[in-house]
């Protein structure tokens, strides 16, 4: 009797179990499909976002490389210019000191009276001083040191320093009519301005 009951109940239990499994599988299948679709969409969106981020990072990196190259170029040019300036103006301090030597030679020649220049016993000494002055001018010229032009030119504040005003009708006001001390430049830089007298209208 009990065997019959057990035999009757087993098929029914198995059938119920199969229905539960099928229902569970059916119910679980739908969320899994949706989940897989959502994951695919999320993965696709994430991939596009990562590609966009990588493209932005690449663009920024390229920009930084361009900036670095431009800065390197500027630094190289500055170094080259500094080296050229150092070479061109290396003698500036020495040349400025030598200007006093040139001034003293010119003063010595100017101080010699005209009658003394004609005397035979002084010609050797005077000739030596004049030759020294010419040699010094040659050395200046070889090193790019030139005398500033002044007499007869308009006053140039970049090269002339006005010391006095001289009333005259012979020159336009502001014209350099006297030079008390010569000025010099080395290359395109001023070593010393020329000390000059400038014309003005008589009162």
Model pLDDT, residue 160: 96
Distance of CA 15 to the CA centre of its chain: 91
Long-range contacts of 176-179 (CB under 8 A, 24+ apart): 176/150, 176/151, 176/152, 177/151, 177/152, 178/151, 179/150, 179/151
Model pLDDT, residue 118: 81
Residue ranges of domains in the chain: 1-88, 89-200
DSSP class of residue 24? H
- Counting DSSP H helices and E strands in the chain, the numbers are 4, 6
> CA torsion angle for 22, 27, 30, 36 (degrees, to 10)?
-90
Residue that is written with structure tokens 């090269």 in the block:
159
The whole-number average pLDDT for the span 30-59 is 69
Distance of CA 92 to the CA centre of its chain: 23
- As a CATH number, domain 89-200 is 2.30.22.10
pLDDT digits (tens, 9 = 90+) for 108-120: 888 888 888 888 8
- pTM recorded for the entire structure: 0.57
The Cα 198–Cα 177 span in angstroms is 6
Mean pLDDT of the chain: 80
pLDDT digits (tens, 9 = 90+) for 146-201: 999 999 999 999 999 999 999 998 899 999 999 999 999 998 889 999 999 999 99
């Amino acid at each position: 009797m009990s065997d019959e009951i057990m035999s009757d109940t087993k098929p029914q239990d198995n059938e119920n179990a199969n229905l539960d499994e099928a229902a569970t599988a059916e119910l679980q299948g739908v969320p899994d499909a949706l989940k897989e679709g959502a994951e695919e969409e999320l993965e696709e969106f994430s991939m596009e976002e990562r590609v966009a981020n990588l493209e932005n990072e690449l663009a920024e990196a390229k920009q930084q490389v361009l900036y670095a190259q431009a800065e390197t170029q500027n630094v190289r040019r500055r170094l080259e210019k500094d080296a050229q300036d150092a070479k061109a103006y290396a003698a500036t301090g020495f040349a400025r000191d030598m200007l006093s030597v040139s001034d003293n030679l010119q003063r010595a020649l100017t101080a010699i009276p005209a009658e003394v220049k004609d005397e035979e016993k002084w010609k050797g000494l005077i000739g030596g001083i004049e030759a020294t002055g010419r040699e010094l001018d040659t050395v200046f010229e070889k090193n790019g040191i030139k005398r500033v032009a002044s007499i007869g030119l308009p006053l140039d504040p970049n090269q002339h320093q006005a010391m006095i005003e001289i009333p005259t009708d012979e020159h336009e006001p502001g014209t350099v009519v006297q030079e008390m001390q010569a000025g010099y430049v080395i290359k395109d830089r001023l070593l010393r301005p020329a000390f000059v007298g400038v014309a003005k209208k008589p009162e």
